[in-house]
Structure 1
Amino acid sequence: MQTDTQTQTDVVPFIDYFYKWEREKADQVYLRQPIGDSYVDYTWAGVGQQARRMATYLQSLGLPTGSHIGLISKNCPHWIIADIAILMSGYVSVPFYPTLTADQLNALLGHSQCAVLFVGKVDDWGTMKAGVPDDVVSINFPGYQTDPTLRSWDEIMANFPPIVESPKADLDELFTIIYTSGTTGMPKGVMIDYRAAAQLAINVRPMTFQELPNARFFSYLPLCHVAERTIVEAMGMITGGTVYFAESLETFAKNLAAARPTHFLAVPRIWMKFQQGVLAKLSEQRLNLLLRIPVVSSLLKRRIRQSLGLNDAVLILTGAAPTPISLIRWFRRLGIRIQENYGMTENLASVCMMPADQIKDGTVGRINPGMSVKIDAITGEILTKSGWIMRGYYRNPDLTAETLIADNWLRTGDIGELDSEGYLRITGRLKDVYKSSKGEFIAPAVLEAGFSDNPFIEQICVTGRELPQPIALIVLSETTPKVAQKEVEKSLIDTVNAINDRVHPYERIRKIVILKKAWTVENNLITPTLKIKRNEIEAQFNPFMTSWYDCAETIVWEDAG
């Protein structure tokens, strides 16, 4: 089955939305940066003035039209201002993750052929800057870097006039190159043109871009990631809303509660953290009891939503990785309706979304208007086609030819099922499927999903390419150490038994290995959007797999060191 409903309307370049609000809402606040208990506010006109001055400077460098300009920073107002300046000056923005090492940054700057790099809120610029080639012009974001070798943003603002007329964006020209987070090796540069971004706004806007007089967005996931850039930066610019930023990880909860976003996106691990925070103050048993009392239930739900900052939210999304059904239902009981969203960088993260009024648990939503989906009859792979499919991978024609096949269908690499109502179910990832030593194919994602209801599990990776049966590598949640070890082990064994009862004999999980250290961005075991790097995890723990597998116990605790 496939769907294909196209809405016809005028297609305009992305930057035109900014010009509209710059004129119509000049003195209203567009960007808000918390600093302690106060805010630094940037109006639409103020953002326009800074972006226009920076655009003049960029053009003064004499770069050819369409030159590539990099951005590396955690989220902050100047990230968006710089992005707008790049668009105004007729260049192509290339954002990078602020957690890159010097070698990784050097490789990506070379591959992307960036002539200029904006440098902002990064933790260790002193180490990272060794990866920047000498011929790349580097510009700082004010307030974050004091490196005298960087061109000063403030000096540029003081010495260059605002650009008056920007180059008219050609819809068929390149808009941005978004590098994937690199779960399986070298990140790929996904080329998106202006037409693709415009088509997405037209077709998906009726479902997601709810027009509110005071729309508010909270920016904390990496802006270089397609989901944050689409949901927060693009939606904020299109609707004329206000974008709030998080100051730091430590102030995240306070900043979110103060922002009270009307539109909010979180990855599954964030939702798990929210749940753990609620249960740390109120046990599951006590919560269930209070929710059964009508008047108390209403007050409790409102208090929890307010404490999270979600009482005003009209659109609450989850994506980037599978979200346990039990977790979505848990929040639904609190009046927090989480809508799943599915997509990838190559289709601007917009294949389908769960309708707010027609929820079908177990799926990732219904296919978006303007998007066509079909399932490969042999492999079960999900194929997508729409007006917002990537142009291809930058400087990688072979991989482009493998991914964009006949009639411009995009191979997603995901395995799934599409039902008669247009709802999509994800059942695995082609690259993750492996053959065990018995010669049987194992789909880890299916087995990992079976652990989603266990509250003791924070992170999981099912593996065992060289073993007769799969094993599960697990990182326990932060609250687990408070629980007796025997209780944890019994819970995990019960979960494994329940999974093994409903799968083929060759899929049954033989061992659970409980690891001591969490998988983080810093130890390179998860991406900045909190997806596991399966290849890295398997490579790190492969030397221990056989000994773990041969242990007599079902539950194996990682040895010290």
Structure 2
Amino acid sequence: MTDQLPLQRLAHWVGTTPDRVWLSQPVERQWHDLTWRQADDQARRLASALQALGCAPGDRVAILAKNCAEWIISDLAIMLAGLVSVPLYPLQSAESIDYVLRHSACKVIILGKLDEAERFAAGIPAEVIRVAMPYPTLSAPHQWHALLAAHEPLRDGHVQRPDDLLSILYTSGTTGQPKGVMQRAEAFAFASSRSVAEMGLNEREQFFSYLPLSHAAERFLVETNSLYCGGAIAFVESLDTFAADLKRVRPTVFFSVPRLWTRFQQGVLEKLPQAKLDRLLRIPLLGALVARKVRQGLGLDRARVLVSGAAPIPVALLEWYQRIGLTICEGYGMTENFAYGNFNRPGQVRFGSVGRVMPDNEVRIAENGEILYRSRALMAGYYLEPEKTADTLQLGWLHTGDKGEIDADGYLRITGRVKDIFKTSKGKYVAPAPIEGEIAKNLWVEQVCLMGNGLDQPLALIELSPAARAQARGQIEAELAASLQALNERLLAHERISHFVLVREPWTVDNGCMTPTMKIRRNVLEQRFAAVAACLDRHQPLHWE
């Protein structure tokens, strides 16, 4: 199995379990199931249609849609036709979409579920052919059902080779224009075959897909891992139905990001305040029953592999989930190695780390502390950017830009970004990531960004959690002031934080403070709050902005 490419895995399941349900899609609260055979039939019809629209092997086809069964079918159709997929984030700006479509020279764009679809229209060049999935979306001359009905399934699909360019995944870009990461069929096969074996995934798994499939992590952990283990995938219909859909599906494998793990926690605490939860969990037997009820309420009572990635998660949050019987396995990878890096395996978890390196993968720490990887999951390079490729891939090693430490047992801990370290006006260097992690332990904190380049002392920009906004201002101020004092007592003199700046406007993709993959745009926040930092009252350590 380790040498089989994605289309070979599809053929395996179509040949051995054709009538087993693979994809489950809710539409207007009705669930529609697709078997392996049905999904393959639709993918082959779409592959024929793409060829009829003038696509030749190697041409690029974009997918702009929220997660749905048709997203994966589109991806498979692109492979079957020998084309190259270019996934787009459903939160990208029109300007960014225009850049990616032109840079990659996409011939076709497949459009699907989108919020406020018309705002993307200006980003799609007139020459790009539009195909619409069967959901409310942008206008398109080619509609999904009619297109599939008009074309017979492609009988002899493209024969994949390990070095085939399968996809160009554009990074969200915390600064500058996104870069197109070229990933080959071999990377998909290498990462997922080993991941499935290492985690013991099998045909009985139930995946739940809601994080963007345009991101390497969801593509790897859900779509491709499903192809390699044979597990089923269910999708969320909308943000409003998320909780109900999750409870209905009850996944065995569940992947989320720190910000959403925090939101899930806050949802529990709104119904069952922390003090009461703590009291109940301490009672023998009753505590176990309460924990099980909480897991059932989240829809995670069957989950045996819980994953967090994309950004650091506070240890305090991991410990909170463990108390209710949910052990979250934090992992670390990049688009450039198809998210195949380090992982805390179930039963082998060390909080505060991102786990040990995955099989057949090499990791080492450079002299400057940078994390380097070498494996068959590495990208072929950045599309049309040889200089950036040469900077990132050196002597076969991927230079991640992240700093880390590996302990005696092989567990990797992320300590910051190589370029995120800033210098205060006193000439002292400060690494923000560890300090941000300490601040994030406070349950009132949703997100935090430490800034201090050129300042006498660092300050922390804090976005409060929704739960905090519902509390009395005096209570929040008192608890945050206590947290600030306690933290400063543990920091070195040049690291001590002068102020907590509590921001009123949430950090979102739309206002430019977050990337589509939910990473903070540190440079944007520093520029936006530079004037505030210059006029803070040194006698008032808490400042509401």
Q: 1:551 deviation in Å?
A: 4.5
Partner residue, 2:106: 114
Among 348, 357, 360, the residue aligned to 2:338: 348
Structure 1 residue 316 corresponds to structure 2 residue 303:
no
- Name 1:429's counterpart in structure 2: 417
- The answer to whether the 8 A contact 1:450-1:495 is kept is no
The answer as to 2:151 corresponding to 1:160 is yes
Counterpart-to-counterpart distance in 2, 1:143 and 1:415: 43
RMSD (Å), alpha carbons: 1.5
Of the candidates 534, 537, 542, which is equivalent to residue 546 of structure 1? 534
Residue 325 (structure 1) aligned to one of 309, 315, 321:
315
Mapping 1:280-429, distance limit 5 Å: 280-377=270-367, 379-406=368-395, 408-429=396-417
CA positional deviation for 1:209: 5.0
Q: Which residue does the alignment assign to 1:6?
A: none
SS at match of 2:260: helix
Instruction: State whether structure 2 residue 131 is matched by structure 1 residue 139.
Output: yes
Distance across 1 between alignment mates of 2:119 and 2:375: 42
Secondary structure of the equivalent of 2:201?
coil
1:33 matched to 2:25: yes
Q: Deviations over 1:5-32 (max 9, x none)?
A: xxxx751211211111122222222111
What is aligned with 2:5? 13
Partner Cα distance (1:505, 1:551) in 2: 16
- SS of the residue corresponding to residue 466 of structure 1 reads coil
Correspondence list, 1:91-240, <5 A:
91-145=83-137, 147=139, 149-211=140-202, 213-240=203-230
Separation in 1, partners of 2:360, 2:280: 44
- Please list the CA deviations of residues 152-182 of structure 1 after superposition, one character each: whole Å capped at 9, or x if unmatched: 1222112111001112111111111111122
SS of the residue 1:431 aligns to: coil
Distance 1:81 1:347 in 2: 24
- 1:24 pairs with 2:12: no
Distance, in Å, in 1 between the alignment partners of 2:413 and 2:2 is 33
The letter of the residue matching 2:50 is L
Residue 244 of structure 1 is aligned with which of 234, 242, 257?
234
Answering whether residue 72 of structure 2 is matched by residue 80 of structure 1, we say: yes
Contact 1:219 1:245 in 2 (8 A): yes
What does residue range 471-550 of structure 1 map to in structure 2 within 5 Å?
471-548=459-536, 550=537
Contact 2:66 2:114 in 1 (8 A): yes
The Cα shift of 1:208 comes to: 2.6
Structure 2: how far apart are the matches of 1:49 and 1:501?
Answer: 64
Unaligned runs of 5+ in 1: 1-8
What is the one-letter code of the residue matched to 1:189?
G
Distance in 2, matches of 1:387 and 1:157, equals: 36
Deviations 1:43-85 (A, max 9, x none): 2111111110110111223433111111101111111110010
Distance 1:267 1:10, change over 3 A: closer
1:336-376 deviation per Cα after TM superposition (whole angstroms, max 9, x unaligned): 11111111111111211112222222211111111111111
1:555 corresponds to which letter in structure 2?
L
Gaps of 5+ in 2: none
Q: Give the stretch that moved more between structures: 57-66 or 425-434.
A: 57-66
Name the aligned partner's letter for residue 132 of structure 1.
I
Cα separation, 2, equivalents of 1:267 and 1:26: 33
Q: Which whole-Å CA distance do the structure 2 matches of 1:36 and 1:141 have between them?
A: 15
SS where residue 69 of structure 1 aligns? strand
8 Å Cα contact 2:118/2:138 also seen in 1: no
Q: Tell me the secondary structure at the aligned position of residue 191 of structure 1.
A: strand
* 1:276 match: 266
Contact 2:23 2:233 in 1 (8 A): yes
Letter in structure 2 aligned against 1:343: G
**1:459 partner letter:** Q
Report the identity percentage.
42
- 1:267 corresponds to: 257
**2:539 corresponds to which letter in structure 1?**
A
Paired residue secondary structure (1:78):
helix
Question: 2:472 is aligned with what amino acid?
Answer: A
Separation in 1 of the partners of 2:212 and 2:182?
18
Find the aligned partners of 1:197 and 1:216 in 2 and give their Cα distance. Answer: 20
Contact (CA 8 Å) 1:209, 1:235: kept in 2 or not?
no
CA contact (8 A) 1:353 1:367 kept: yes
Report the alpha carbon displacement of residue 500 of structure 1 after superposing the two structures with TM.
1.8
Give the whole-Å Cα distance in 2 for the aligned partners of 1:546 and 1:288: 42
Q: What SS is found at the alignment partner of 1:294?
A: coil
CA distance in 2: counterparts of 1:482 and 1:170, whole angstroms? 56
Tell which deviates more after alignment, 265-274 or 489-498.
489-498
Query: Residue in 1 aligned with 2:429?
Result: 441
Q: Deviations over 1:110-169 (max 9, x none)?
A: 11111111111112332312221222111111122362x431122211211100111211
With over 3 angstroms needed to count, the CA separation of the structure-2 counterparts of 1:73 and 1:440, relative to structure 1, is same
Deviation of the 1:282 alpha carbon: 1.1
Kindly provide the CA deviation profile for residues 491-513 of structure 1, in whole angstroms up to 9, marking residues without a partner as x: 21222222222222111110111
CA distance in 1, matches of 2:538, 2:486: 21
CA displacement, residues 453-473 of structure 1 (integer Å, 9 cap, x when unaligned): 101111111112231111101
SS of 1:501's equivalent?
helix
**Cα separation, 2, equivalents of 1:524 and 1:15:** 38
Equivalence for 1:5: none
Local SS of the residue matching 2:374: strand
Check whether the contact 2:253–2:305 (CA below 8 A) recurs between aligned residues. Answer: yes
CA distance in 2, matches of 1:63, 1:54: 12
Q: How far apart are residue 246 of structure 1 and its match? A: 0.9
Q: Is 1:555 the counterpart of 2:542 in the alignment?
A: yes
Structure 1 residues 166 and 43 mapped into 2: Cα distance closer, same or farther (>3 Å)? same
Distance 1:332 1:193 in 2: 37
Shift, 1:191, TM fit: 0.7
TM-score (norm 1): 0.94
> CA 1:55/1:483 → structure 2, altered by over 3 Å: closer, same or farther?
same
Q: Secondary structure at the match of 1:388?
A: coil
Q: Does 1:58 align with 2:35?
A: no
Offset, 1:241: 1.6
Aligned CA distance change for structure 1 residues 134 and 209 (closer, same or farther; 3 Å): farther
SS at match of 1:432: coil
- 2:182 aligned partner, one-letter code: M
Q: Name 1:469's counterpart in structure 2.
A: 457
Question: Could you report, residue by residue, the CA deviation over 1:284-315 in whole angstroms, capped at 9, with x for unpaired residues?
Answer: 12111111222111211111111111111111
Which whole-Å CA distance do the structure 1 matches of 2:341 and 2:18 have between them?
34
In the alignment, the residues of structure 2 paired with residue 249 and residue 10 of structure 1 have an alpha-carbon distance, to the nearest angstrom, of 36
Following superposition, the deviation at residue 221 of structure 1 comes to 0.4
- 287-296 vs 422-431, which moves further: 287-296
- Do the aligned partners of 1:381 and 1:415 also contact (CA within 8 Å) in 2? yes
Maintained 8 Å contact 1:354/1:366: yes
